[in-house]
């Protein structure tokens, strides 16, 4: 195996799913790589991986970073795991006690995930 580039890029499950679907459509014949890609594709589809446009994922990440001060890894986990419960959000947000994120902020992050990623309406106030 050869390392093509040493730069590190965070890639979300939706991006991997989209890439593998594109590759699958372009490939013909059988190979070990194709079999591996098929297994990953199957896994991502079983996990109900989000299938949102890249622009929406980027907008979600930008808002999460700007409004809530989240880092890229936390945004990646929110996209990949799409938490629906507050305890899941607080587990994803690293060192939330040290950053003094209030319960209200964690609830706002959960609402942002629900609206932007899961396309759910905002809860009634």
Identify the pLDDT of residue 33: 74
* Spatial distance between the Cα atoms of 8 and 5, rounded to a whole number of angstroms: 8
54-68 vs 103-116: helix crossing angle, rounded to 10: 170
Domain ranges of the chain: 13-46, 54-116
Per run of 10 residues, the mean pLDDT along the chain (length 125 residues) is 65 88 75 80 83 91 95 94 93 75 92 92 59
For residues 122 and 115, is the Cβ–Cβ distance under 8 A? yes
User: How buried is 111 (Cβ within 10 angstroms: 0-12 exposed, 13-18 middle, 19+ buried)?
Assistant: middle
| Token pair belonging to 41 | 């594709």
Which residues, at least 6 apart from 29, have a Cβ–Cβ distance to it below 8 Å?
A: none
Identify the pLDDT of residue 21: 86
Identify the pLDDT of residue 3: 56
């Amino acid at each position: 195996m050869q390392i093509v580039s040493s730069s590190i890029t965070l890639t979300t499950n939706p991006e991997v799913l989209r890439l593998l679907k594109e590759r699958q459509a372009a490939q013909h014949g059988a190979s070990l790589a194709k079999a591996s890609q098929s297994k990953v594709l199957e896994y991502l589809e079983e996990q109900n991986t989000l299938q949102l446009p890249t622009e929406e994922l980027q907008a979600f990440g930008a808002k999460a970073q700007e409004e809530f001060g989240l880092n890229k890894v936390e945004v990646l986990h929110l996209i990949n795991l799409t938490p629906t419960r507050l305890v899941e959000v607080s587990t994803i947000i690293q060192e939330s006690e040290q950053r003094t994120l209030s319960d209200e902020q964690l609830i706002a992050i959960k609402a942002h995930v629900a609206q932007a990623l899961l396309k759910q309406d905002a809860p009634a106030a």
